[in-house]
Amino acid sequence: MRSIFLLDLTQCIGCEGCVIACKVGNELPEDVTYIEISEQVHGTFPNLSGGFANHRCYHCTDAACVNVCPTGALFQEDELTRVDSSLCSGCQYCVRACPYDVPVMVDGVATKCDGCRDVTKAGGTPWCVQTCPSDALRFGPRDEITAEAHQRASVMREKYPSAQVYGESQTGGLGLLVVAPEDPDELGLPADPQVPFISTVWQDIVKPGGFAITGFSIVAAGFAGIIARRNHMKELRELAEQGAAPSHDGHDDGEVQQ
Ligand code: SF4
Ligand code: SF4
Ligand code: SF4
């Protein structure tokens, strides 16, 4: 069955039931989660209200993670993006390419929400949706989910005048539509999610052009440079926090130079 998710942020109470159900159902390691819940404040003073952000994979139709993956470990199926970590080479291209900062590396391979592939293939409902006590999550055919999202946003505009549906146009249409109580930008949901340039080169030129070896080397070098620099800066930040960061001229002066 081809189904997508509905996430209604106007109904989420931040209970983290979805986080726990996902971890238990998918037998995730203790320090790995596919959903992150955090508190948010909506509106402008003095008309403020509270809510919860729900960071997770948006299952993009034009998915940067799938487009850059050289091994097929990330792939699309039934309107969702899936993961076969056994095929992952550990290159981290998907980690750098995702405009929503979703995939994570665990034991050297990439992982993320796969839409509970085993459960949904058997006709079931994803663990997170099964568990949500406030009806903030739904899973169903795209046309039904789209209609319900608009109906919910319409009702919520009485309370939240800017309530709207997010995800119909972003990255070819998301496999998770969000009912947002405010302008999505205010909630950290970009109107136009940006894919890093190096990923675009890989997706638009190297893969279809068949410049496999040369192109791969160029793009791999680009990614490797990005990754190496990020890792280097992370190490420097950690050293700085410990009060022992070497400067770029080799002196141990405790300052991190960006
Ligand atoms: S949100 Fe990121 S990880 Fe999820 S499908 Fe889109 S590009 Fe891939
Ligand atoms: S669909 Fe499944 S894997 Fe994805 S967040 Fe929900 S429970 Fe976790
Ligand atoms: S289970 Fe539902 S209400 Fe609880 S945090 Fe998740 S989405 Fe929000």
pLDDT digits (tens, 9 = 90+) for 89-143: 999 999 999 999 999 999 999 999 999 999 999 999 999 999 999 999 999 999 9
**Which residue reads 């983290």 in tokens?**
16
- Cα of 60 vs centre of ligand 3, distance in Å, is 21
Same domain, 116 and 231: no
Mean pLDDT of 239-249: 46
Q: Is 12 in the pocket of ligand 3 (CB under 6 A)?
A: yes
Same domain, 149 and 41: yes
Q: Is pLDDT at 252 greater than 60 in this prediction?
A: no
Structural domain includes residue 158: yes
Number of domains in the chain: 2
From the CA of 56, give the closest atom in ligand 2: 5
- Cα of 12 vs centre of ligand 3, distance in Å, is 5
Q: Is 14 in the pocket of ligand 3 (CB under 6 A)?
A: yes
CA distances (Å), 63 to each of 21, 75, 100, in order?
Answer: 25, 9, 11
Mean pLDDT of 238-243: 55
Please give the pLDDT value at position 200.
66
Length of the chain measured in residues:
258
DSSP string for residues in 4-73: EEEEETTT-----HHHHHHHHHTT--TT--S-EEEEEEEEETTEEEEEEEEE----BSS-HHHHH-SSSS
**Cα radius of gyration (the chain):** 20
More confident residue, 127 or 198: 127
208-225, pLDDT tens digit by residue?
554 444 445 545 555 554
Structural domain includes residue 36: yes
- Cα of 137 vs centre of ligand 3, distance in Å, is 7
Same domain, 231 and 160: no
Q: What is d(CA 158, CA 179) in angstroms, rounded to the nearest whole number? A: 14
Pocket of ligand 1 (CB under 6 A): 57-60, 63-65, 81, 98, 100, 102-103, 112
Pair of tokens at residue 243: 């009060």
Same domain, 175 and 234: no
Q: What is d(CA 7, CA 41) in angstroms, rounded to the nearest whole number? A: 18
Q: Which domain holds residue 228?
A: 210-241
Nearest CA owner, ligand 3 atom 8: 12
Nearest CA owner, ligand 1 atom 5: 59
Nearest CA owner, ligand 1 atom 4: 57
Same domain, 52 and 157: yes
Q: What is d(CA 117, CA 119) in angstroms, rounded to the nearest whole number? A: 6
Same domain, 70 and 130: yes
- Cα of 47 vs centre of ligand 1, distance in Å, is 33
CATH number for position 127 = 3.30.70.20
Nearest CA owner, ligand 2 atom 8: 22
Same domain, 67 and 12: yes
Mean pLDDT of 25-39: 96
More confident residue, 87 or 237: 87
- Cα of 115 vs centre of ligand 2, distance in Å, is 5
**Picking from 40-44, 63-67, 76-80, 112-116, which range would have the lowest pLDDT averaged per residue?**
40-44
Which pTM value belongs to this model? 0.79
150-183, pLDDT tens digit by residue?
999 999 999 889 999 999 999 999 999 999 999 9
Same domain, 75 and 165: yes
- Cα of 76 vs centre of ligand 3, distance in Å, is 26
More confident residue, 126 or 258: 126
Q: Which ligand is nearest to the CA of 17?
A: 3
Q: Which ligand is nearest to the CA of 111?
A: 1
Same domain, 183 and 224: no
Gap between the terminal Cα atoms of the chain:
49
Banded pLDDT at 186 (limits 50, 70, 90): confident
H or E, element range at 227: helix 212-241
Structural domain includes residue 8: yes
Same domain, 226 and 183: no
Structural domain includes residue 252: no
Structural domain includes residue 11: yes
Structural domain includes residue 201: no
From the CA of 11, give the closest atom in ligand 3: 3
**b/e per residue 170-186 (b: at least 16 CB within 10 A):** bbebbbbbbbbbbebee
Mean pLDDT of 69-89: 96
Same domain, 161 and 236: no
**What's the chain's average pLDDT?**
83
Please give the pLDDT value at position 80.
96
Structural domain includes residue 205: no
Q: Is 116 in the pocket of ligand 2 (CB under 6 A)?
A: yes
Structural domain includes residue 19: yes
Residue 46 preceded by cis peptide, ω within 30: yes
